[in-house]
A and B are shown apart, each in its own frame.
Chain A
């Protein structure tokens, strides 16, 4: 069976590209070693949160400055206008999750340590935690759930640097009788889905929270019914309720993964997890087929184009060996941002600028990985997401934004390989 496009990787970048291509009528195959960073990261779309030490208020204006000062940054290969188009498209395709926010102003959402973190978009279960307007907050934890510590959140958020000061307090609730003492977010979310924990939570909170307090809870309100349960809480408590991202696994991120993969399957795309893309059949500078290893052997999938969204070091898209040599693990593509073998790869301070941080593939403006001369290695191979070099997304708070923007732009490049990019309206 042949495909119009094979997408390698099932994280946010791969799923974005795959869905965009599927809805444009392409026959798409997604292959991945497993689920991607959606299961780790909060479900927010973080376009740009920090430019150096400065907190970004408007990604719309600061992305341009970033691109001007850092020529390899992935946003530099996203055509002007595409960033807005990508976010609009993303919001339209995830309508059931009700993403709020816009490119012109970052929300400031509390982390599980109580740090205000900038995000451009957030699912509506989270966006009510926006700290910019001030007010009174109460953070609610569940005893026995170790991945969320409300007193520390409240303590830190009350001392955080914010445009309008806020007050915050913590509340710890004891979950109804449990079969297990050691509770994971996934278990609690499952109980919200199936065992009516929302009724318990509403009763537990009703008389303990003032009418003007906003209620922050760990992002475990249900996996399948998260949005519905959140709405029920807000309606019946008559308070603003918001979820706060926990340590992985990210329940809100899994909801996003489910929404995107359901849309993909409904559109006719094929998704195969648990396999590994290991190389390509090529004719000159074109990939004719992608070789995919599964448990029984290697299958060659003929394809018209390839989107490589296999992730950075964290996902195994790039590896570094003990001699300091780095390699891209699927097609052995050239990499940028790799210090010479005899140079320092890691600075001694944890928060120092790390020489290896921006490692990844370098691309042209069609997001095609390029060699040291700047020529595309394959004319029909495009890269998206964390495998792109030139960014330090965990510092910039730009990871999911880069994934959505470059996944969208890579799909556009696949669809119109020769034409220069022009902003298009969302259908």
Chain B
């Protein structure tokens, strides 16, 4: 991990994984558990790409039951596994599919049939019962179905995998960019990488290189002169300040835009849209898409537009298409693709695993490492379906209110730096030390710092002061991380700014610009 500060003129491993999203860390963990020496490189922070920007739904498979039965089967199987092995990342919210007045109630029959055929447990319940469970849901719904959807914390999942991989000897290197792949003849033998923090460049040699770069997999494949046709399907999400619903509420219809609303810790998230974008790094949030999500939210929960929207963001799905042009991204299968470039292009030692979705990341990793085994001397058994992630050893599912429950008996025992997310000073300092990071944005992903209603209005000044006082940053660097954070945060705030959140943002303007005057910090 980044705690290894020693110079690395070269590294050697059985497996080199490129990409630090759920797929990549899943592959690294799987390979490490099977006893392979493993290195993972990620150009930015872990979970900074698609995984950290998805809606957070651990699919039951209900969403795919009608139109993508194989994806549905994979989802329910993985759903059951992750509830045990990644329990600390899963909140068992349950899922509800509802037929609103805009949806054909007869689709419910197709839905039930599809769920039966794919093994997704689904049960129709009376509308009155559904409204009792979810009082804010549109009272005019006509049918309602229960499924075992759940909420998944992407950051915990990825860091849990990464820590688990490290415990088994893997080296996880965030902020390491692949500049080139090294080839010998028709074989990929490693990568030339650069540390984005120190600027140091070095080689990593590996028997097998696994490209798990998701929507960026095409860019990596090109370095080995291979072709991987991944298109980026941009999806927009909006986080709302309260749990307007306590279950994952889905529209019972063919999957479309803005038809999922799910609780995520103390907030809830509505998603999503699906638009092809030429460059996965270029995602633009358009007002029209915001309005679309708010209007769809209004259909699920009347009054949605008056509720407080916190933050908007876009993620990109890796949509693999092997053959012809596809008009609609939703028509591309959501199952994954494992490409062995030796059979495709005659390039040995190089695999690509892409497509898929976070719910099935473990399965994707298993498939990729199974394939890698063939080039590493024969099969070794996969154990990721049984061995729990770091942090989930006790198999206790995450429960909302966990942090509060820990603090409540002794409310004055520790200094709280972020009141919204109940983050203590000790926790912040431990994280800074353990992860050897000085980026407030990294800390945000690790601790949820600044992800509550005030969006960092108070805690970001405090965290900057603590980073600086602890000697982690000099003054100029502390100022830079503070300003970078404010800019980054604004990107997600300004597209949805209205109502009470505008009031909050203006208070934050007063704090940062009026009281602290960040605009005139010395460089």
Contact = CB atoms under 8 A, between A and B. Distances in A.
Interface string B385-398: 00000000000000
Q: Is the interface of B mostly helix, strand, loop or mixed?
A: helix
Interface string A365-401: 0000000000000000000000000000111010100
Contact of B503 (A146, A316, A322, A324): A316
B117 interface: no
A117 B510 CA distance: 13
A148 B474 CA distance: 17
Contacts, number: 151
Contacts of A348: 490-491, 494
Interface string B436-467: 00000000000000000000001001101110
A84 interface: no
B305 A321 contact: yes
A161 interface: yes
Please indicate which of the listed interface residues B306, B458, B491, B506 has the most CB atoms of chain A within 10 Å of its own CB: B506
B484 to A, nearest CB: 10
Contacts of B516: 111-113, 115
A232 interface: no
A313 B462 contact: no
B475 A155 contact: yes
Contacts of A324: 498
Nearest to B507: A314
A133 interface: no
Contacts of A321: 305-306, 498-499
Contact of A156 (B309, B425, B521): B521
Given A155-B474, A245-B515, A321-B499, A161 B510 contact: no
A183 B415 CA distance: 8
Contacts of B487: 349-351
Given A113-B516, A350-B490, A395-B513, A159 B462 contact: no
Contacts of B514: 41, 393-394, 397, 399
B503 A313 contact: yes
Interface string A127-152: 00000000000000000101111011
B498 to A, nearest CB: 5
Contacts of A181: 412-415
Of A115, A180, A347, A397, the most chain B CB neighbours within 10 A belong to A115
A42 interface: yes
A156 B517 CA distance: 12
Contacts of B515: 40-42, 111-112, 245, 247-248
Contact of A115 (B306, B511, B518): B518
Nearest to B522: A159
Interface string A151-184: 1100110011100000000001000000111110
**Interface range, A side:** 35 or more
B412 A319 contact: no
A182 B416 contact: yes
Contact of B461 (A113, A116, A156): A113
B400 interface: no
Nearest to B462: A146
Interface in B472-523: 474-476, 478-479, 486-487, 489-491, 494-495, 497-499, 502-503, 506-507, 509-511, 513-522
Contacts of A346: 494-495, 497
Interface string A90-127: 00000000000000000000011111110000000000
Interface string A260-296: 0000000000000000000000000000000000000
A346 B509 CA distance: 13
B473 to A, nearest CB: 9
B21 to A, nearest CB: 26
A320 interface: yes
Interface residues of B, number: 52
A179 B412 contact: yes
A394 to B, nearest CB: 4
B294 interface: yes
B468 interface: yes
A116 B411 CA distance: 36
B115 interface: no
Given A152-B478, A247-B458, A394-B510, A115 B521 contact: yes
A358 interface: no
Interface string A311-329: 0111110011111100000
A349 B489 CA distance: 10
A236 interface: no
A170 to B, nearest CB: 8
B294 A322 contact: yes
Interface in A194-237: none
Interface string B166-187: 0000000000000000000000
Contacts of B417: 146
A345 interface: yes
Contacts of B404: none
A37 interface: yes
A269 B518 CA distance: 39
A322 B490 contact: no
Given A41-B514, A314-B506, A395-B513, A322 B305 contact: yes
18 contacts: A111-B516, A116-B520, A146-B417, A152-B469, A155-B468, A159-B476, A159-B522, A160-B522, A182-B415, A313-B502, A313-B506, A316-B503, A322-B499, A348-B491, A348-B494, A351-B519, A393-B514, A395-B519
Given A148-B465, A151-B469, 9 more contacts: A112-B515, A113-B461, A159-B522, A160-B522, A182-B414, A348-B491, A393-B514, A394-B514, A397-B517
Interface of A: 37, 40-42, 55, 111-117, 144, 146-149, 151-152, 155-156, 159-161, 172, 179-183, 245, 247-248, 312-316, 319-324, 345-351, 393-395, 397, 399
